[in-house]
Amino acid sequence: MTGRDDTAPATASTAPGAAGRPAPAAGVTTAPSTSPRIPRPGRDLELRPFPDIGADSPAAQREALARLRAWAEQSAEDAMDWYLRDKRRKRTASRLLQGLAIGFAVAGTAVPLGTAAAGGGGQGWGYVLLAVAAGCKGFDHFFGVSSTWMRDIGVAHALRGELNAVRLEWATDVLRAGPAGATRDPDLPLEPAEVERQLALIARLVGAVRGHIEAETGDWQAEFSASTRQLHDQGALPAARSTPGG
């Protein structure tokens, strides 16, 4: 995913916090994440440090599940925020390029007509303006500005849906446990079925985030390779020369 900017602040709708998450599953106390929000001055989506995990006591087991859940949710939020920031930048660039292309195309058609009606000789500027309009469209197509904008929207919505679905299922487990789960003795270990259920939800969220990112990255690579190959076929880029004996 190299080449995307990643400097804007996180959106308020996805920022982690107690108000934005359901209560933990039965018998699990929510613990603050050991990895704070990471300032990311670079251009790539960075990974959060994996939390410290221990299960030498029932309390440590509950703490480990809470940390794993917070890590998975915040990683999903990081990815969603990244795509939303990239979407805003690509939207601005796409609209600018499309607007310039339309403006130069209209001017390239109007200038020759106007100069011809006035008896002038500036018809050649029409070709220049039309060439600039074509250049704007070509820039958008080659660098995939508009197509990346659309993919960013799709991935951001998909990640939001996955995150909300996991949070809803976690909250459902809490409500099904009822008061008995909230008053359970913290010195008693969790039931194996309960642990498996919580780990499955965490693994599902992590896998969904990874799958969406890998799919979008694959689409971006395929599009870029196709655009480069098209420019080579059209002679816009010099072909690689083979060296003797190579």
On whether residue 153 sits in a domain, the answer given is yes
Residue 103's domain comprises 58-178+189-229
Name the residue among 196, 225, 198, 240 with its Cα closest to residue 28: 198
The answer to whether the CB of 16 falls within 8 A of the CB of 70 is: yes
* Domain count of the fold of the chain: 1
On whether residue 40 sits in a domain, the answer given is no
On whether residue 46 sits in a domain, the answer given is no
Per-residue pLDDT of the chain (246 residues; tens, 9 = 90+): 444 443 333 333 333 333 333 334 444 444 333 333 433 434 677 788 888 887 788 888 888 999 999 999 999 999 999 999 999 999 999 999 999 999 999 998 888 887 777 776 667 888 899 999 999 998 998 888 999 999 999 999 999 999 999 999 999 988 887 776 655 666 777 888 888 999 999 999 999 999 999 999 999 899 888 888 887 777 655 554 444 444
pTM for the whole structure = 0.68
On whether residue 32 sits in a domain, the answer given is no
On whether residue 34 sits in a domain, the answer given is no
On whether residue 212 sits in a domain, the answer given is yes
Alpha helix ranges (H) inside the chain: 58-117, 124-143, 145-182, 192-233
On whether residue 11 sits in a domain, the answer given is no
On whether residue 16 sits in a domain, the answer given is no
Q: Tokens representing 233?
A: 């076929």
